[in-house]
Amino acid sequence: MVEAGDVAPTFCLPNQDGREVCLDEFSGKWVVLYFYPRDNTSGCTKEALDFTQSLKDFRALGATVLGVSPDSPASHQKFREKHGLAVTLLSDPEHRVLEAYGAWGTKKMYGKEYQGVLRSTAMIDPEGKIAQVWKKVRVKGHVEEVKGVLKSLISEGIR
């Protein structure tokens, strides 16, 4: 898992429209990179809706919000349309970015272990360094917490 102070691993991934989005496009801006298991599941839908509802606030703070899961661009497109989402969703079926950020690992359900997405969020500062990491994210209240930390970092003069 990346830690605060680390240089953010660079990447290029296709978005919901199949357009390649690269981290370096956001140089000089804040990036909220959230990792979620799957489109159209209850927790993932709630998280995406929460980020969508707060997108104007994040943009006003100079931040871009990007969601990453192993789902395909076509799945992301349907997910966005079905729920009226505005957040950009990136497809990482080979788990390269998920692994680079420590968001892919062993999970347990009903006593069985398997590999999957560990719901987490990384905030990247305008210099391309990890400013904050949230591991084992609980959806309820998460977006507000992320927004609060971003406001705090900006007020401390971290640009």
Task: Pick the closest to residue 129 from 35, 32, 1, 4 (CA basis).
Answer: 4
Q: Is 44 a catalytic residue?
A: yes
Which residue's structure tokens are 């507000």? 144
Give 71's Cβ-side CA count (13 Å radius): 24
Task: Pick the closest to residue 50 from 81, 11, 85, 24 (CA basis).
Answer: 85
Residue type, 37: P
Catalytic residue selected from 13, 21, 44, 55: 44
Three-class DSSP category at 3: coil
Task: Pick the closest to residue 118 from 137, 100, 97, 133 (CA basis).
Answer: 137
Residue 39 CA to residue 37 CA, distance in Å, equals: 7
**Which residues are catalytic, by number?**
44
